[in-house]
Amino acid sequence: MEFLEQLIQQLINGISLGSIYALIALGYTMVYGIIKLINFAHGDIYMIGAYAGFFATANLGLPFVPALIVSMVVAGLIGMLIERMAYRPLRHAPKIAVLITAIGISLLLEYGGMLLFTPQPRTFPNVLESVTYHMGPFVVNSQQIIILVVSVILMVILTYVVQKTIIGKAMRAVSFDTDAAQLMGIDVDRIISATFGIGSALAAAAGVLVGIYYNSIDPLMGIMPGLKAFVAAVLGGIGIIPGAMAGGVILGVIEALVSGFISSTFRDAAAFAILIIILLFKPSGLFGKNVREKV
Amino acid sequence: MNLKKKVMSMTSLAVGMTMMGVLFAGCGGNDAANSNEIKIGANFELTGGVANYGSQALNGIKLAIKQANDAGGVNGKKINLIVADNKSEASEAANATTKLISNDKVKVVLGPATTSNMLATTQIATDNKIPVIAPTGTNPKITVGEDGKVKPFIFRSCFIDPLQGEVMAGFAAKTLNAKTAAIYVDSSSDYSKSLAEVFTKQFEAAGGKVLLQEAFLQKDQDFKSTLTKIKAENPDVIFIPAYYEEVGKIVKQARELGITAPLLGTDGWDDAKLAEIAGAAPLNNTFFSSHYSIQDSDENVKKFIEAYKAEYKQEPSVFAALGYDAGMMLIDAIKRAGSDDPEKIRKALEETKDLQVGTGVITIDKNHDPIKSAVVLEMKDGQKIFKQKINPTKE
């Protein structure tokens, strides 16, 4: 294969992987934007979503789209429940206490999942026909296209919700200045709860897509993608929604190029090296503006 | 006044409980000294990442012990199996073996299942002079230390990695007539890396050439970028010494990318989940080495498979079969030792010769490893087809 052909194939691989990172990164970034919390349990919500999708297809026999919706609803509710039980009581506690709680929730979900679902990997039933298209020397799988299409649709819906609806306006207001928003009569708790719900639903969609495409889910599947999505969110500028989308895709492409042209052993090192470089040189991320600290 | 009374009664209750505890502990102690049971410890991965392997190996062991106990026990004594869970972690594995030896006073320990967890326990067993059998750990370092000396109390009942690497390198070079190979290894596992080493050495000795070696990590989901790179080199075969969970995804994605070369693997592939994850069609033209085949025509293998099916209502996995082998090897050694003295059991284990176990016949060599045959299996339409049996050449 010629260099150029390989490059294009790697870009195809990278973009489909990156759109998954982007979906997960959105949840990180939304929650951070609104309550300045790095929700480390977010990767595990993605796992919960994958399992919800699995039970919806395998046990209830639902086709792809209804299963995706069921899983997004279930994960959204669990995300809201976690916020209500674990984070809301700590709203006025030091940041570090909430962060540690988030790690605790993450471990609870991972090992609780192991107890409930058993550690054995599960395979999704065949709900989406997988067709491989050969376009000249390039190979694209129909499921890769579906991942990309579903991700783009969800991101468009999210952008619409955040920019055009009342709840989106309230979210932006809370994110901009919580106290002022409260004074204007916005129910801050309800808005934070909705943010967790939406972020978790997006992660769940990523979980279902991954489950169907890679055909294997397990209770610890959320750890690595969770960390990578965190890198993606920071890369794009944490708290900024378009930043998370771009960050996810860029990270996916970088990983594909590194393993394709340098060495697969450097892939994860490259991903986390990006995190360090961004934090050193542009902590506000690619899409972030350098704002002065509010006093 | 009332409170004081309450405290008093609580204290006396506590004292009473403590005394009872002492009494019971005393009882337990006496029981162990002159009992009519033999205590065996089992340290396995019952929860955590590789719980699948640990629990299946334990099923095999339980079957072997049940058969021995039903037949009247060993030397007139019943075997009492005490199980500890190491949560699939090396540090917990060390704790579990310590607990089995010092609290439960077991005479022998079986397990853990995986190489890394096994390695964490060998020093503890050696220090306490308690024999250990590794039922499924295939890394040579389990029985032979870094200094090249055999660990006196550590035994194993399955074959070792170099044999698998050799078998598959020979299979690639001779049966498949491959001239070039790519290796795709799981760099988070010692098992995978040591197999890659042996394969490279043997394949190049047979006149082949390893074009490139790439790596992935456990729990990875996407392998397409690396597979695209491997495809560009166009090797005759691809050797993937790893566990079924990742292998399943690799095989599926490799076929999607249009890689048609034969894919080769080792016993980590041998699980029913492999076909579920990869799908039946992508697995065509893949081959792997393993410990036994369910299609083996040998009478003793058949007998074991029947007994296992009757007990657990499913076909024995490789881990279950190897667990059963370890149980058989231990029971035989205790019989010949004529006692449950750890030192005597150790000596008997060392002298194991031509013993019929579930998957074949084993003789323990000077490195405390069994001399045992391997099989090569081919995947066809999701079924494992027995391809060839390769008998050990060394010694």
Contact B217 A268 (CB under 8 A): yes
pLDDT at A294 over 70: no
The mean pLDDT of B39-58, rounded to a whole number, is 89
Q: Given this model, what pLDDT does residue B17 score?
A: 52
In this complex, the residue of B229, B245, B256 whose CB is nearest that of residue A216 is B245
DSSP code for A121: -
Q: How far is CA B380 from CA A128, B136, B165, B280, in A?
A: 24, 26, 22, 7
Q: Given this model, what pLDDT does residue B116 score?
A: 85
pLDDT grade for B295, boundaries at 50, 70 and 90? confident
Q: Which residues of B are less than 8 Å from A221 in CB distance?
A: 219, 221
pLDDT at B21 over 50: no
Task: Encode A193-225 in three state secondary structure.
Answer: HHHHHHHHHHHHHHHHHHHHHHCCECCCCCHHH
CA angle B150, B155, B161 (to 5 degrees): 80
Contact A134 B228 (CB under 8 A): no
* ipTM, two decimals: 0.81
**Residue A218 to chain B, least CA–CA distance (Å):** 9
A227 touches chain B (CB under 8 A): no
Contact A216 B249 (CB under 8 A): yes
Contact B214 A114 (CB under 8 A): no
The mean pLDDT of B171-198, rounded to a whole number, is 91
**Residue A266 to chain B, least CA–CA distance (Å):** 9
Mutation test of the interface with chain B: which of A3, A216, A224, A227, choosing the one with the most B Cβ atoms within 10 A? A216
Mean of pLDDT over chain A: 90
Q: Given this model, what pLDDT does residue B201 score?
A: 93
Domain topology for B37-159+297-364: Rossmann fold (3.40.50)
Mutation test of the interface with chain A: which of B222, B226, B244, choosing the one with the most A Cβ atoms within 10 A? B222
In this complex, the residue of B51, B222, B245 whose CB is nearest that of residue A17 is B222
Contact A259 B219 (CB under 8 A): no
Closest CA to B141 of B78, B105, B190: B190
In this complex, the residue of A9, A130, A265 whose CB is nearest that of residue B187 is A265
Mean of pLDDT over chain B: 87
User: In terms of CA atoms, which chain B residue is nearest residue A257?
Assistant: B225
pLDDT grade for B395, boundaries at 50, 70 and 90? very low
**Residue A82 to chain B, least CA–CA distance (Å):** 24
Q: Which residue has the tokens 């090797």?
A: B235
Q: Given this model, what pLDDT does residue B133 score?
A: 96
Stronger pLDDT, A134 or B333, i.e. the higher one: B333
Residue B148: left if φ>0, alpha if ψ -120 to 50, beta else—which one? left
Contact B228 A13 (CB under 8 A): yes
Q: Which residue has the tokens 């007539």?
A: B177
Contact B276 A224 (CB under 8 A): no
DSSP H or E stretch at residue A162:
helix A142-164
| pLDDT tens string B302-335 | 899 999 999 999 889 889 999 999 999 999 999 9
Q: Which residues of A are less than 8 Å from B226 in CB distance?
A: 259-260, 264
Would you say the CATH fold of B161-290+376-390 matches that of B37-159+297-364? yes
pLDDT at B31 over 70: no
Stronger pLDDT, B234 or A288, i.e. the higher one: B234
DSSP code for B142: G
In this complex, the residue of A9, A134, A210 whose CB is nearest that of residue B228 is A9
pLDDT grade for B12, boundaries at 50, 70 and 90? low
Phi, psi of B40 (to 5 degrees): -120, 135
Contact A123 B277 (CB under 8 A): yes
State what percent of residues in chain B have pLDDT above 70.
Answer: 90
pLDDT grade for A291, boundaries at 50, 70 and 90? low
Phi, psi of B144 (to 5 degrees): -120, 120
Contact A264 B248 (CB under 8 A): no
Mutation test of the interface with chain B: which of A5, A138, A259, choosing the one with the most B Cβ atoms within 10 A? A259
Contact A260 B51 (CB under 8 A): no
Q: Given this model, what pLDDT does residue B360 score?
A: 84
pLDDT at A35 over 90: no
Residues 6+ apart with CB under 8 A from A109: A41, A44, A45, A47, A48, A222
State what percent of residues in chain A have pLDDT above 90.
Answer: 65
| pLDDT tens string A182-232 | 999 999 999 999 999 999 999 999 999 999 988 889 999 999 999 999 999
CATH architecture of A3-118+136-281: Orthogonal Bundle (1.10)
A224 touches chain B (CB under 8 A): yes
Q: Given this model, what pLDDT does residue B14 score?
A: 53
User: In terms of CA atoms, which chain A residue is nearest residue B233?
Assistant: A1
Name every residue in B having a CB less than 8 A away from some CB of A: 47-52, 88, 187, 214-217, 219-222, 224-226, 228-229, 231-232, 245, 248-249, 252, 256-258, 273, 276-279
The mean pLDDT of A65-82, rounded to a whole number, is 96
The mean pLDDT of A72-91, rounded to a whole number, is 95
**Residue A265 to chain B, least CA–CA distance (Å):** 6
User: In terms of CA atoms, which chain A residue is nearest residue B249?
Assistant: A214
d(CA B100, CA B121): 11
d(CA B91, CA B83): 17
Stronger pLDDT, A132 or B49, i.e. the higher one: A132
Contact B229 A260 (CB under 8 A): yes
Six-digit token string for B216 = 């992935």
Domain ranges of chain B: 37-159+297-364, 161-290+376-390
User: In terms of CA atoms, which chain B residue is nearest residue A16?
Assistant: B222
Q: Which residues of B are less than 8 Å from A6 in CB distance?
A: 228-229, 232
Contact B47 A13 (CB under 8 A): no
**Residue B118 to chain A, least CA–CA distance (Å):** 20
Six-digit token string for A209 = 């897509």
User: In terms of CA atoms, which chain B residue is nearest residue A141?
Assistant: B256
Closest CA to A126 of A142, A148, A113: A142
pLDDT grade for A131, boundaries at 50, 70 and 90? confident
Phi, psi of B339 (to 5 degrees): -165, 170
Q: Which residue has the tokens 């033999």?
A: B38
pLDDT at A93 over 50: yes
The mean pLDDT of B162-176, rounded to a whole number, is 91
Domain ranges of chain A: 3-118+136-281
Stronger pLDDT, A185 or B4, i.e. the higher one: A185
State what percent of residues in chain A have pLDDT above 70.
Answer: 98
Pick the CATH number of B161-290+376-390 from 3.10.580.10, 3.40.50.2300, 2.30.40.10, 3.40.50.720: 3.40.50.2300
| pLDDT tens string B61-94 | 999 999 999 999 898 899 999 999 998 889 999 9
Q: Given this model, what pLDDT does residue A295 score?
A: 47
Q: Given this model, what pLDDT does residue A164 score?
A: 93
Lowest mean pLDDT among A66-70, A71-75, B30-34: B30-34
Contact A141 B52 (CB under 8 A): no
pLDDT at B28 over 50: no
The mean pLDDT of A131-146, rounded to a whole number, is 84
Q: What pTM was estimated for this model as a whole?
A: 0.79
Q: Given this model, what pLDDT does residue A14 score?
A: 92
Task: Encode B87-141 in three state secondary structure.
Answer: CCCHHHHHHHHHHHHHCCCCCEEECCCCHHHHHCCHHHHHHHCCCEEECCCCCHH
Q: How far is CA A285 from CA A20, A174, A278, B169, in A?
A: 19, 21, 6, 49
Q: Which residues of B are less than 8 Å from A259 in CB distance?
A: 214, 225-226, 229
Q: Which residues of A are less than 8 Å from B219 in CB distance?
A: 218, 220-221, 223-224
Q: Given this model, what pLDDT does residue B24 score?
A: 47
Residues 6+ apart with CB under 8 A from A15: A148, A249, A252, A253
Q: Given this model, what pLDDT does residue B2 score?
A: 53
SS3 content of chain A, % helix, strand, coil (to 5): 75, 5, 20
Contact indicator for A27, A83 with CB cutoff of 8 Å: no
Mutation test of the interface with chain B: which of A264, A265, A268, choosing the one with the most B Cβ atoms within 10 A? A264
